[in-house]
Amino acid sequence: MQALIGRVGKELIRRRYASTSELVAGLYAALVQYLESHELIRNGPFDAAVCRNATLADLDEERMATFLHRARRARGFPLPEEATPGELLTHLNLLDDGRPTNAAMLLFGKQPQRFLISSEVKCAHFHGLEVAKPIPSYQIYKGTVFDLVDQAVDFVMSKINLWVGTREAGAAVPVAYEIPREVVAEAIVNAVAHRDYTSNGSVQVMLFADRLEVWNPGALPPSLTLEKLRHPHGSVPFNPQLAEPLYLTKYIERMGTGTGDMIRRCREVGLPEPQFTVSDGFVTTIWRKAGQVATSQPESQPESQPESIELRVLRLLTKEPLSKSAISSALGQKEISGHLNQVIRVLLNDQTLEYTLPDKPNSRLQQYRLTEKGRLLLGVLQKGNLS
């Protein structure tokens, strides 16, 4: 014993224990402290923990600059637009000893799924009332939480019924989706923001003939119940570091009003109230009511259900050229999404669309119009969509 004490020197902590149980408790506390210090266990929210093996080089500075601009415009974010990525990450508490947290990777990562594999969103469209093969449309979306929400919402909006009115009341063409866009967006952003990222499961968005189901691997916090969700309640984010930037860009609110707003909007357009259930995860069910136009919209004629955003873009441009922002607005998007940018690039490369100002592709006055090839393609797509 004396030889052992001599070897460990000052590293040895001498302490007497009056009983075996006291020794076990002290040993347990020391072990927990050791495991925490070596990042082998976590004592706190997952999104606040360090993203293992990730460095600041794995974050996208352009995404951070875009966030800064949007947050200043949406919520009066205090940092100036020339703030550095380090200043932004520090202000949002997304660094731990200079290393990016899981929330930082989910918000601004170049390839978030490289580190957080299950953070993708799976979207599927079924013609029937249950999951069955063949699946008419199936997509797996990757990217930041902003990308995931935008892409999943666009997927649903491109599959549900759309009613297009006339220009009798003004220059803008009125449109109405069978499910309000804000209801779809609220269900999806809640799933992405409040899911359990330690689970191997992914968020699933499934559109059936009679309903939309949004499932996420997670559960309600102990302070909330399914009944409380239907009434005003406090906001209890499962991933607080993830929720703050989503709030700053107006993807979510912090007042616990989201589920109540979904119920109210569905009532306003004559849809049944959304259903919330906990069954091997949290499920939001939004019921469809095909063939009925929102009562707050002017009378209009239903069009055939489009199968893709490409078809809708082509249809919108049949009468006159439109800017990208005008196309985005007509599609029901609150701002131009990455998916829409990609679709327009593909249509331009295929020569189905062309610039109205070909010598100035980045002009703020730029619009897009159909080519003859585009009109032929639209005719083929519409014929196939009606058959």
CATH, residue 132: 3.30.565.60
Cα 217 to Cα 200: distance, rounded to the nearest angstrom:
8
Flag whether 143 is in a domain: yes
Q: How confident is the model at residue 291 (pLDDT cuts 50, 70, 90)?
A: very low
Q: Tell me what percent of the residues of the chain surpass a pLDDT of 90.
A: 46
Full DSSP string of 99-143? EEBHHHHHHHBSSHHHHSGGG-EEEEE-SSSS--SS-SEEEEE-S
Domain match, 318 and 232 both? no
Flag whether 4 is in a domain: no
Flag whether 218 is in a domain: yes
Domain match, 265 and 377 both? no
Domain match, 138 and 239 both? yes
State the total domains in the chain.
2
pTM listed for this prediction:
0.67
Cα 282 to Cα 118: distance, rounded to the nearest angstrom:
16
Q: What is the pLDDT of residues 72-98, one digit of tens each?
A: 999 999 999 999 999 999 999 999 999
Domain range spanning residue 362? 306-386
Domain match, 186 and 213 both? yes
Domain stop point among 287, 322, 349: 287
Flag whether 360 is in a domain: yes
Domain match, 246 and 314 both? no
If we measure between CA atoms, which residue out of 107, 281, 286 comes closest to residue 181? 286
Domain stop point among 224, 256, 287: 287
* CB-based contact 287:272 (threshold 8 Å): yes
Tracing tokens 């109210």 back to the chain, one arrives at 264
Flag whether 139 is in a domain: yes
Flag whether 150 is in a domain: yes
pLDDT at 248: 94
Domain match, 130 and 236 both? yes
Q: How confident is the model at residue 312 (pLDDT cuts 50, 70, 90)?
A: confident
Domain match, 273 and 351 both? no
CATH code at 342? 1.10.10.10
Domain match, 313 and 260 both? no
Mean pLDDT of 240-259: 86
Residue 167 has pLDDT above 80, yes or no: no
Flag whether 54 is in a domain: no
Domain match, 212 and 140 both? yes
Q: How confident is the model at residue 139 (pLDDT cuts 50, 70, 90)?
A: very high
Between 37-41, 193-197, 376-380, the lowest mean confidence (pLDDT) is in 37-41
Domain match, 267 and 221 both? yes
Domain match, 147 and 266 both? yes
Domain match, 247 and 339 both? no
Q: How confident is the model at residue 386 (pLDDT cuts 50, 70, 90)?
A: very low
β pairing state of 95-96 and 99-100: antiparallel
Flag whether 63 is in a domain: no
pLDDT at 296: 38
Q: Tell me what percent of the residues of the chain surpass a pLDDT of 70.
A: 84
pLDDT at 166: 57
Domain stop point among 287, 320, 341: 287
Cα 353 to Cα 351: distance, rounded to the nearest angstrom:
5
Query: Please, what is the average pLDDT of the chain?
Result: 84
